[in-house]
Amino acid sequence: MPDSLSPLRTHAAPPGLLDAALLRAASRPPSGRSPRPLLLAAVFLLGVLAGRFVPNGSAPGPAVEPENIVARYEAELAARPVRFIFVAPEAERVAIAGSWNDWQPEAAPMQRGEGGRFYVEIELPSGQYEYQFVVDGHRWTADPATVLARDDGFGRQNSVLTI
């Protein structure tokens, strides 16, 4: 009559040898260190290598064809309208100069609206830009509505826009 461990035995080990090794391992006192963390790490790494687990927590998606990657990249870089508003009731004219127009205020004059509000809409692709408003052709000023600013090297601050 075969015992319940017979499917686990290999042909190389005699029947009693496996049972004796299991008894010896079970009778040893614990070493104080648990093999569980190492076992879990090994299982995780095997899962990563097999593609079952992704370290950042997102599931692996379907394969993406190269032309789809290019289309997605071009869509990210596509220009989108950004509306700039600056309030200066005392100003006659306001322009915006920035890293996207080589700091040329005449390239982006702003329109005057109600209450001394000046506005312009500029198409910009994804990226990070620095800019300042130019009031009446000579007074350069950072955007008071932005949080990020960077020293411009001339004693003023450039506003920073990230799209």
Which tens digit of pLDDT belongs to each residue from 17-62?
445 544 555 555 555 555 566 656 666 666 656 655 455 555 555 5
pLDDT bin (cut points 50, 70, 90) of residue 78 is confident
* Spacing of C-alpha 140 from chain mean position: 33
What CATH number is given to the structural domain containing 81? 2.60.40.10
Looking at the domain assignment, is residue 25 inside a domain?
A: no
Residue type, 131: Y
End-to-end CA distance of the chain: 75
Structural domain containing residue 108:
77-162
Looking at the domain assignment, is residue 58 inside a domain?
A: no
Considering its fold, how many domains does the chain have in total?
1
Beta bridge partners of 97: 132
3-class state of residue 128 by DSSP? strand
Sign, Cα dihedral of 95, 124, 161, 150: negative
Looking at the domain assignment, is residue 153 inside a domain?
A: yes
**pTM of the complete model:** 0.54
Looking at the domain assignment, is residue 86 inside a domain?
A: yes
Of these ranges, 1-10, 43-52, 73-82, the one predicted with the greatest mean pLDDT is 73-82
pLDDT bin (cut points 50, 70, 90) of residue 9 is very low
77: CB partners within 8 A, 6+ apart:
125, 126
Residue type, 25: A
The tokens of 42 are what? 């090994």
Neighbours of 122 (CB within 10 A): 18
pLDDT digit string, tens, across residues 131-158: 999 999 999 999 999 889 999 888 899 9
- Going by the DSSP 8-state scheme, the letter that residue 110 receives in this structure is P
Looking at the domain assignment, is residue 85 inside a domain?
A: yes
Looking at the domain assignment, is residue 117 inside a domain?
A: yes
Looking at the domain assignment, is residue 106 inside a domain?
A: yes
Looking at the domain assignment, is residue 52 inside a domain?
A: no
3-class state of residue 71 by DSSP? helix
